[in-house]
Amino acid sequence: MDSSAVDSFKLVSLSSLPSLALWGLGVAIFVGAVLACFGVAREPLARRKWALWTLRALAAVCAIFFLLEPGLRKVQVARVKNRVAVLVDRSASMTFPVAAGKQSRSQAVAEALTTLGPQMEALKDRFAFEVIGFDPELSPISAKTIETEPARGNKTDLLSTLRSLKASEGTSARKLSGVVVFSDGADNAELAQGLNGRAKQVLEGFGVPVSTVAVGQGGLKDLAIENIKVDDFAFVRNSITAEVEVRARGFSGQATQAVLRREGRIVASAPIRFASDDDVQVAKFTFAPDQTGRFVYTVSAPVFPDEAVTENNSRAFTLKVIRDRVRVLLVAGRPTWDERFLRGLLKQDANVELISFYILRNSPDDPMVANDELSLIPFPRDEIFSEKVHTFDLLVILNFNNDDLSISLSQYEDSIKKYLLNGGALAYVGGDRSFGDARFTTFADVLPVATAGPSELAPFKARLTPEGARHPITALGTGSVSTEAAWDALPPIPGMNSVRARTGATVLLDNPFSLVDGKNAPLLSIWDYGRGRVMSLTSDGSWAWAFTSHVGGAQSRVYERLWGNAVRWLVRDPELTAMSVTADSPTVEPGKPVGISAVARSSDFQPVPGAQVTIELISADDGHIVAQQTVPAGPDGTAHVEFPSPPAGPYKIVGRAVQGEKVLGEMSDAIAVRASGKELSDARVNAGLLEDVAKTTGGGFFDGPSFSLSDVPFKEPPLVEVGRSRDQPLWDRWYWLALMVFIMGAEWALRRRFGYI
């Protein structure tokens, strides 16, 4: 037992007769007394009649007394100590201040528990007080922990918490005598709309009084980003709309502006005005992502000086941008077999949206032909290269003569360079009007090769370089056929432009029979220009490779595979990157670590065991490095790091892989660390809900943490016997018998005097 035993006395029947016999004799005595009373019912004098009735009733009582043989039973009893659950809300809203500029709600609870400590100690012989935090999971907690560790729960669910507490009663040796709940009442689960329906029935049958304590004051002013409705992914260069719910408390008539940023850069803004002191307005942002990948966006509202909470004025989310179709612009200097094969290939690809222009003839071909008759439709150079060039994923310039001013692109040189620097892609294909056979100053700075003299007209078989043997563009091997064997099987092509590779370029194919500066003349070369990628193919004879598609009945389709690989590499298909970095989850819950996985590959896209992988977690707001780790890649080239939970907000993840002094690659990803969602978007104190809960369960409601436990209703713990009992008869005393004889004698004497005998 939890408390010392005490003596207790209770009145019992010591009769040895069975209960049925006692009931029967008792009924007989009662009936006899009633019949005896009826015997004097005709007595005319009321005084006589009532005197006889009283004596006969007392005689019946005496008879029942001796029939039951009453006695006192002395037993030792002890009071069972029941438990009282003190529930403390540990949801994130408890970090809000009690009032503007005051301590947090959790700190107010910690002080209240410290004050109530002596009162709990005084009641320890009857109740065991258990302080339990809920978020909504139940776990023991102390006042010190409440004060020092911030509340981080992302949901307030009072009904679920009470259900869990009631369910735990079956596994506890002590029964519940009461519940005291410290909370701000900001429920965002079943009781979000108030206490009604099924929830009310559950609380009415709870069986234990639940007393509630409202922590915090009403009337706080707060502006919060409450919810963001946006798709998980978007298509590059296609518009998408994000709907943002902004809640304002205490800002009736206030006009402001919500802003959408991507990694610190403003993307869009939307004006909002609040009509009441508790209003929700929807701000709509429509924007078109211009790059593929995962990006982190931040929606923010201005912070007003008198706001109670400022942490909920911004919220981050991630958006994965993918390609719907690769948008390709093909510009050809004239109709050729190469132009025909390439245009046909791109047109039949369901993943490509092709826009093509080719010049039928140039002014030098026939000076008598007017400029506007050089193509089937006018060549919209200004619209394409000045206004719309950024809408294309890839530019393909094929055998294009830059000499003719009527179609020259030289005036768009800056626009094309800017397009590439910002992540565009260019494939420049040779011919008799490209590279060394014509001026190409528009593209001279951005190409990986430079002109080196007259063209080589002799047919030759392209040779795969060591770099080409490992690169995804020239990876033509299928099944048991290696890439080298596939290239060896291709037919010769009819000549090429004479060029030299520029410093930093990678040559994938060359001409083994032509030398430039002592090196084999490059045929297929690539490099990065700014954030963009450029490929040069110094021949217009690659169409000849298409004729191997059905040699010997086999469908090798090397021409299609070559250009398919080239397009994917140029537009940075994620599957063709040497380095990949991926967050374990694009959205990180508050307090949770950030997990990141990386894969390091070499230029031939084979895993690089032991490569040094550096992962940086960077704030997308101001660009400072929040955390950094360097780890070696495993046998499969993968590495995994984990960073402690950073503050809520948008973050970029940048990964770099190095083998020795060689940089293998760099990639990035993005994450958004949540700020607990609805918990931090609602600063109100819902005292009305807490009062309804207390009233429904028979508990008490306290509008503030200052109260006394003496005012809290508890169910009293029961008493149980803990020792042997001892019976002491009361019926065998002589005076009880004398009293019975006196009553019966007095009744007989009165009847005789009144003439009934």
Q: Which tens digit of pLDDT belongs to each residue from 521-537?
A: 999 999 989 888 999 99
CATH code, residues 223-323? 2.60.40.10
State how far the Cα of 208 lies from the Cα of 582, in Å rounded to an integer: 50
Q: Report the chain's mean pLDDT, rounded to a whole number.
A: 82
- pLDDT, tens digit, for every residue of 553-589? 444 578 888 888 898 888 887 666 778 898 998 888 8
Q: Range with the lowest mean pLDDT among 109-123, 268-282, 472-486? A: 472-486
Average of pLDDT values for 124-148? Answer: 88
β-pairing, 314-322 vs 233-235, is parallel
CATH code, residues 576-673? 2.60.40.1930
State how far the Cα of 129 lies from the Cα of 147, in Å rounded to an integer: 19
Residue type at position 478: T
Average of pLDDT values for 467-478? Answer: 81
**CA-based nearest residue to 639, from 670, 601, 586, 686:** 601
Inter-residue contact 64 to 704 (CB < 8 Å) = no
pLDDT of residue 371: 47
By three-state DSSP, how is residue 294 classified?
Answer: strand
Q: Range with the lowest mean pLDDT among 341-350, 370-379, 422-431? A: 370-379
Inter-residue contact 274 to 282 (CB < 8 Å) = no
Question: Could you tell me the pLDDT band of residue 269, with boundaries at 50, 70 and 90?
Answer: very high
pLDDT of residue 408: 72
Residue type at position 651: Y
Residue limits of CATH 3.40.50.410 in the chain:
81-219+684-717
> Kindly report the CA angle at 117 between 116 and 121, in degrees rounded to 5?
120
pLDDT of residue 379: 65
pLDDT of residue 724: 63
The single-letter DSSP state of residue 179 is: E
- pLDDT, tens digit, for every residue of 652-683? 999 999 888 888 878 888 999 887 667 777 77
Pick the CATH number of 326-570 from 3.50.30.50, 3.40.50.1820, 3.40.50.880, 3.20.20.370: 3.40.50.880
By three-state DSSP, how is residue 597 classified?
Answer: strand
Percent share of the chain, pLDDT over 90: 24
pLDDT of residue 414: 85
Residues 6 or more apart whose Cβ sits within 8 Å of residue 600:
578, 579, 607, 608, 611, 613, 633, 637, 638, 639, 657, 659, 664, 665
Inter-residue contact 178 to 714 (CB < 8 Å) = yes
Question: Could you tell me the pLDDT band of residue 402, with boundaries at 50, 70 and 90?
Answer: low
State how far the Cα of 357 lies from the Cα of 360, in Å rounded to an integer: 10
Alpha carbon 160 to its chain centroid, in Å, reads 20
State how far the Cα of 612 lies from the Cα of 579, in Å rounded to an integer: 12
Question: Could you tell me the pLDDT band of residue 618, with boundaries at 50, 70 and 90?
Answer: very high
Q: Which of 154-163, 383-392, 565-574, 604-613 holds the top average pLDDT?
A: 154-163
Inter-residue contact 674 to 648 (CB < 8 Å) = yes
Q: Range with the lowest mean pLDDT among 127-131, 201-205, 323-327? A: 323-327
Helix (H) or strand (E) holding 28: helix 19-38
Question: Could you tell me the pLDDT band of residue 373, with boundaries at 50, 70 and 90?
Answer: very low
Residue limits of CATH 2.60.40.1930 in the chain:
576-673
Enter the pTM of the model: 0.61
**Dihedral in degrees, nearest 10, Cα atoms 345, 347, 349, 354:** 120
pLDDT of residue 171: 65
By three-state DSSP, how is residue 722 classified?
Answer: coil
Inter-residue contact 299 to 225 (CB < 8 Å) = yes
Average of pLDDT values for 268-281? Answer: 90
Average of pLDDT values for 390-399? Answer: 87
User: Which of the two residues, 41 and 339, has the higher pLDDT score?
Assistant: 339
**Directed axis angle between helix 734-753 and helix 46-68, to 10°?**
150
Q: Range with the lowest mean pLDDT among 341-350, 397-406, 461-470, 685-694? A: 397-406
pLDDT of residue 605: 65
User: Which of the two residues, 368 and 152, has the higher pLDDT score?
Assistant: 152
- pLDDT, tens digit, for every residue of 416-469? 888 888 888 999 998 877 876 445 567 888 899 988 888 888 899 999 998 888
pLDDT of residue 222: 86
Which neighbouring-strand residues pair with 251? none
**CA-based nearest residue to 96, from 358, 308, 334:** 308
Superfamily of domain 81-219+684-717: von Willebrand factor, type A domain (3.40.50.410)
Which neighbouring-strand residues pair with 74? 9, 726
pLDDT of residue 481: 59
Residue limits of CATH 2.60.40.10 in the chain:
223-323
Question: Could you tell me the pLDDT band of residue 368, with boundaries at 50, 70 and 90?
Answer: very low
Average of pLDDT values for 134-149? Answer: 89
User: Which of the two residues, 404 and 607, has the higher pLDDT score?
Assistant: 607
Kindly tell me if the per-residue pLDDT of 214 is higher than 90: yes
**CA-based nearest residue to 187, from 591, 674, 590, 688:** 688
Average of pLDDT values for 267-286? Answer: 91
pLDDT of residue 597: 92
User: Which of the two residues, 49 and 121, has the higher pLDDT score?
Assistant: 121
Inter-residue contact 511 to 537 (CB < 8 Å) = no
